[in-house]
Amino acid sequence: EAGVAQSPRYKIIEKRQSVAFWCNPISGHATLYWYQQILGQGPKLLIQFQNNGVVDDSQLPKDRFSAERLKGVDSTLKIQPAKLEDSAVYLCASSWPAGGRETQYFGPGTRLLVL
Amino acid sequence: AQRVTQPEKLLSVFKGAPVELKCNYSYSGSPELFWYVQYSRQRLQLLLRHISRESIKGFTADLNKGETSFHLKKPFAQEEDSAMYYCALSGWSSGGSNYKLTFGKGTLLTVNP
């Protein structure tokens, strides 16, 4: 079974620029998560989708971050404009069935550096 | 609010020695607890979850509700156990609409030859 795919793997941008990350979950997984992992910290949930609906976006900085999951499959996470403190690894994960207590499968992450 | 604490950032042991990675949690409901592991240059993956009561790669973890702990143990560490270990708790979100996974900050385990 193919794992969660993410791209790009690395991105370097200057502050105030915009950036987008893409995630393709495991086929059939209804729930998709985006996490932010700052150096030295554990992953922090930014947004959770169930199919193509948002279940939890309480920790998403909505003034600059946005995410969508079209057709309940792929998802994109966008930052506009980026700040220095957005430098982190952005992890995508997926799980099945929906609910939140099942095992989550993680992608390799996108490492973002904001200069 | 739910919180996971891993008091040790770094843990270094010798091969063959016992290892214990500590995890304490704070949650008012009935928790579901996990250990995730990230080996060098690999993605984060599940090691074990308390509800399964399994031993994976020789590791075990027991949920102690009285002490609110979920420590990870292995009697004889191997060099291939060197990795970053994250304890995580799945609990009902403060918004009340979903279960949410909260991670600790992680413990980097190094097993020396």
Of the listed ranges A27-41, B3-17, B66-80, B88-102, the one predicted with least confidence: B88-102
The pLDDT tens digits for B12-54 are 999 999 999 999 999 988 889 999 999 999 999 999 998 877 8
The pLDDT tens digits for B60-85 are 998 999 999 999 999 999 999 999 99
Q: Do the chains contact at B106 and A42, CB–CB below 8 Å?
A: yes
- B65 at A interface, C-beta within 8 A: no
Q: Do the chains contact at B90 and A109, CB–CB below 8 Å?
A: no
Q: What is the mean pLDDT of residues A90-105?
A: 85
Which residue has better confidence, A38 or B62?
A: A38
- The span from the CA of B102 to the CA of A106, in Å, is 15
Nearest to A100 among B49, B98, B104 (CB): B98
Interface test with B, best of A7, A36, A89, A104 (most B CBs within 10 A): A104
How close, in Å, is residue B72 to chain A by CA atoms? Answer: 17
Classify residue A72 as left (phi > 0), alpha (psi -120 to 50) or beta. Answer: left
- The span from the CA of A109 to the CA of A36, in Å, is 9
- B30 at A interface, C-beta within 8 A: no
- Looking at chain A, the whole-number percentage of residues with pLDDT higher than 70 is 97
Residue of A nearest to B99 (CA): A100
Instruction: Please state the three-class secondary structure of chain B as a single string.
Output: CCEEECCCCEEEEECCCCEEECCEEECCCCCEEEEEEECCCCCCEEEEEHHHCCCECCEEECCECCCCECCEEECCCCHHHCEEEEEEEEEECCCCCCEEEEECCCEEEEEEC
The per-residue pLDDT of chain A, averaged, comes to 93
The pLDDT tens digits for A41-75 are 999 999 999 888 999 999 999 999 999 998 889 99
Q: Do the chains contact at B43 and A100, CB–CB below 8 Å?
A: no
Of the listed ranges A16-20, A101-105, B18-22, the one predicted with least confidence: A101-105
Query: Between the CA of residue A59 and those of A44, A55, A71, B88, what are the distances in Å?
Result: 8, 12, 23, 17
Asked if B84 and B72 count as a contact pair (C-beta separation under 8 A), the reply is no
Q: Which residues in chain B have Cβ-Cβ distances shorter than 8 Å to A40?
A: 9, 105
- B41 at A interface, C-beta within 8 A: no
